[in-house]
Structures are given as C-alpha cells and as structure tokens.
Amino acid sequence: MKLLVLGGTLFLGRHIVQAALDRRHDVTLFNRGHTCPALFPDTEKLCGDRDGDLRALRGRTWDAVIDTCGYVPRLVHASAAVLQDVVGHYTFISSISVYADVRHPGVTEAAPVRTLADPTTEEVGPQTYGALKALCEQAVEAVFPGRALLVRPGLLVGPYDPTGRFTYWIQRVAAGGEVLAPGVPERQVQCIDARDAATWIVQRVEAGTTGAFNMTGPDTRLSMGAFLEVCRQTLNRAVCFTWIPEAFLLEHQVRPWTELPLWVPPQASGLLAIDISKAQRAGLAFRPLAETMRETLQWATQREPESSAPTRLASGESTQAGLAPGRETALLQHWHRQQ
C-alpha cells in the first residue's frame, strides 16, 4: 500500500512508520521536519505545516493516510479536505480522553464524548485536550464518512516514550530501596506497548477497518500491585513497596498521573479500566509486560541526556513525570511518623 503518515517521528508515529515499513508498505511522511529529522533516511519526506502550508500534499495520491498529530479540529479538517479525493481511507489517532464520564470501569466506544462550551477554541491543554480530540474525530468523519478509523489509545508505553510515565516506575524500581506506591495494590491499571499499538493500527489500515476503537491493554485485568511486582521480578531489584492511601497523597498535594503515574483521581478511575473487547475481536495482541519493561529500561539508560529534558506535550502537560527523590523521601517519612 501507499501510505501517507502525518507526523511519524515522535513515539507512536515512529513505531507506526516502522511497522508499515516492516510490512513492506510504501510510506511517505508529511511534517515540519523539526522532530528527529534524520529518522527513516530512505523514506520519502514532504515538508509542510498543517497550519497553512499543505502544498506538498497536493497533486499526489495514496491508498490511506494515518494522522498521528491532530489536536485542533480546524487543522484536522483542513488536512482531511485536501486529501478527501486522493486518499481512500483515513486513520485518526485520538485518545480515551474523549470520554465525558470516566468515573466507572468498562467505558465502551458508544459512551458520550466531551464537549466544549466554546467549540472554536484552539487552546490545547489538560482541560480541553479530550474535547478537542473528540471534535477532531468529528471533523475527520465529516470529510471521510464511512472511510475513517478512529483509534482511541490509553497510556502508550515503551521505548521512545516522551511522557516518562511508564519509564518513571521502571527507573524507580531499578534504583531499589523503599518505593512509594499509590492507593491500594488491587487498583486496576492499563497500558499498551506503542509497538503493539502500531502493528495493530497498520493491520487495520490494510483491512480498511472503520469506526472507533479503544486501544489499551493488557488482555487480562492488571492491578497496580501486579504491575509493580512484575517490574521488581523483571529487574531483579531489592525493593519494598509502601502503599499510601489516596487521601494522604491528595492532602499533601501529590499530583495524580504526573507525580505518580498510573494513579488517577477516584473520579477518573475508569480511565485505567477501559473496555477494549472491540479491538481484541479485531486482532489486538500484546507482548509480555516484562519484555516492555526490560526494553524500556534499556532505551532509557542508553538515550542521549538531552532527549530526557522536560518539554511540553501536545496536551499541554509537562513530560517531567514522577516524584522527585527528595519529595518521595519526605512523603514516606511523614507517612511513617503518623503510623
């Protein structure tokens, strides 16, 4: 297939491109050339900007497009409109953040999505990210009715992850000692290796699959306690997990999801218990969690120092995830003193 990838050099995008190349597709990248421009040296690259410079896309045809970097509905609509008559199938990478109510487990693709009081806003941040993604989905479907695949990933993890969320736990357990663990061990968590996500996406593009799909993992229920135990066993480290109640953490202004990744506030617990049965029926498969942990630690250990510097994500969040060592120590000491 002739595939066009919008973006394609940051985390999930780079894994999608690699999966497509591994499956012998003819891939063209369209981006600004700012992120990892040396990647995929033998792949055709078109330089442009979704905000006003789509000229490089004109006069070309592709079998399908995979949009990995759409966050503003106006810009997504503009890209889709340019490609409407020259591309057969449009895949849009969305997010489980589109859902309006994530208080309870088992949210399916049929659940209501977020809305904005001002749907014209283009301010992308933690409060608007999910609703803007939902509007982007609607923009794609308006231009490609019956020809669009909407992928709603949960927490994507593995090598080249810019968020540091999963990587924080791997590196923290690798450091050993007493580890602050949030809430209770039985609390459910979810994540998916971005390479597994990429393979599934390319397979669905090949099949011409349409509609919305939640995409996270694993294939069986995973608790936070089991997650940390797999991490301990995989890395073979001497660690002690101290489980601290959510009320204590919130009282001390510990930020869920950022300072303690894989912990979300109680009113958002459904974000880590999403229903993925539809994607599983469509062939979504998972590598062992231990494999992802080992390879993520290897990547994190070998990457260049500047690549770990904090930046801002498209959602408006900082990539500096995890508790600072001094902050963790202070919280543990305070917790032990009051016991």
Secondary element (H or E) of residue 83: helix 73-83
Q: How far apart are CA 54 and CA 20, in angstroms?
A: 23
> Concatenated DSSP letters for 198-244?
HHHHHHHHHHT--EEEEE---SS-EEHHHHHHHHHHHHT--EEEEEE
Return the pLDDT at 310.
42
CA distances from residue 280 to 17, 197, 272, 286 in whole angstroms, order as listed: 22, 12, 17, 10
Return the pLDDT at 226.
98
Angle between helices 165-175 and 224-235 (to 10 degrees): 50
Per the listing, tokens 């990744």 go with 261
Domains of the chain: 2-156+192-215 (3.40.50.720), 159-191+219-268+291-337 (3.90.25.10)
Per the listing, tokens 């589109």 go with 98
Based on DSSP, count helices (H) and strands (E) in the chain, helices before strands: 10, 13
Q: How far apart are CA 330 and CA 335, in angstroms?
A: 9
Secondary element (H or E) of residue 87: strand 87-93
CA distances from residue 159 to 34, 37, 219, 266, 285 in whole angstroms, order as listed: 20, 18, 20, 29, 18
The terminus-to-terminus CA distance of the chain in angstroms comes to: 62
Return the pLDDT at 303.
85
Whether 204 and 282 have beta carbons less than 8 Å apart is answered as yes
Instruction: Give the pair of three-digit tokens for residue 234.
Output: 């995989």
Return the pLDDT at 307.
44
Predicted confidence pLDDT, tens digits, the chain (339 residues): 999 999 999 999 999 999 999 999 999 999 999 999 999 999 999 999 999 999 999 999 999 999 999 999 999 999 999 999 999 999 999 999 999 999 999 999 999 999 999 999 999 999 999 999 999 999 999 999 999 999 999 999 999 999 999 999 999 999 999 999 999 999 999 999 999 999 999 999 999 999 999 999 999 999 999 999 999 999 999 999 999 999 999 999 999 999 999 999 889 999 999 999 999 999 999 999 999 999 999 999 998 654 444 444 555 455 569 999 999 999 999 999 998
Q: What is the largest CA-CA distance in the chain?
A: 70
Query: Residue type at 143?
Result: V
